[in-house]
Amino acid sequence: MTDTLRLSILDQSPVSEGFTGADALRNTLDLARLADELGYVRYWVAEHHGTPMLACAAPEVLIGPIATRTSRIKVGSGGVMLPHYSPLKVAESFSILSALFPGRIDLGLGRAPGTDQTTAFALQRDRRQPAPDDFPQQLAELLAYLEDRMPPNHAFARLAALPGRPHAPEVWLLGSSMQSALWAAETSLPYAFADFINPDGTEYAATYRERFCPSEELPAPRAMVAGFAICADTDAEAQRIASSARMTRALLNRGRLTAVPPIDTALKFLAENGPNADSLHRPRRAIVGSPATVRKGIEDLAAAYRAEEVMIVTITHEHAARRRSYELIAEEFGLPKVQEQREPELSRSV
In the prediction, which pLDDT does 349 show?
35
pLDDT band at 253, cuts 50/70/90? confident
- Ranges 129-133, 184-188, 207-211: which has the least confidence: 129-133
In the prediction, which pLDDT does 3 show?
57
> Is 17 inside a domain boundary?
yes
Summarize pLDDT for 2-21 with one digit per residue, the tens.
457 999 999 999 999 999 99
In the prediction, which pLDDT does 283 show?
58
> Is 258 inside a domain boundary?
no
- Evaluate whether 26 touches 57 at the Cβ level (below 8 Å): no
- Evaluate whether 59 touches 80 at the Cβ level (below 8 Å): yes
Strand 42-45 relative to strand 223-231, pairing:
unpaired
Residue 280 pLDDT exceeds 60 = no
> Is 277 inside a domain boundary?
no
Q: What does 336-350 look like in DSSP terms, one character per residue?
A: ---S---PPPPP---
Q: Work out the average pLDDT over 166-174.
A: 97
Average model confidence (pLDDT) for the chain?
Answer: 92
Task: Out of 12-16, 150-154, 253-257, 339-343, give the one with best mean pLDDT.
Answer: 12-16
- Ranges 72-76, 272-276, 312-316: which has the least confidence: 272-276
In the prediction, which pLDDT does 114 show?
67
In the prediction, which pLDDT does 116 show?
77
CA distances from 37 to 31, 233, 290, 326 (A): 10, 21, 22, 11
- Per DSSP, helices labelled H in 212-318 are 235-253, 263-273, 291-305
Residue 146 pLDDT exceeds 80 = yes
The more confidently predicted of residues 275 and 250 is 250
In the prediction, which pLDDT does 1 show?
39
> Is 216 inside a domain boundary?
yes
> Is 249 inside a domain boundary?
no
Give backbone dihedrals phi and psi of 88, rounded to 5 degrees, phi first: -65, -45
Residue 327 pLDDT exceeds 70 = yes
Compute the distance between CA of residue 75 and CA of residue 42 in angstroms, rounded to an integer: 6
The more confidently predicted of residues 349 and 11 is 11
Residue 202 pLDDT exceeds 80 = yes
Q: Work out the average pLDDT over 182-208.
A: 96
pLDDT band at 279, cuts 50/70/90? low
> Is 242 inside a domain boundary?
no
- Ranges 48-52, 94-98, 297-301: which has the least confidence: 48-52
Compute the distance between CA of residue 272 and CA of residue 266 in angstroms, rounded to an integer: 10
> Is 63 inside a domain boundary?
yes
Residue 196 pLDDT exceeds 60 = yes
> Is 297 inside a domain boundary?
yes
In the prediction, which pLDDT does 186 show?
97
Residue 88 pLDDT exceeds 60 = yes
> Which residue type occupies 257?
L
Residue 116's domain comprises: 6-227+290-333
In the prediction, which pLDDT does 289 show?
97
Residue 210 pLDDT exceeds 80 = yes
Q: Work out the average pLDDT over 171-198.
A: 96
CATH number of 106's domain: 3.20.20.30
**Domains contained in the chain, number:** 1
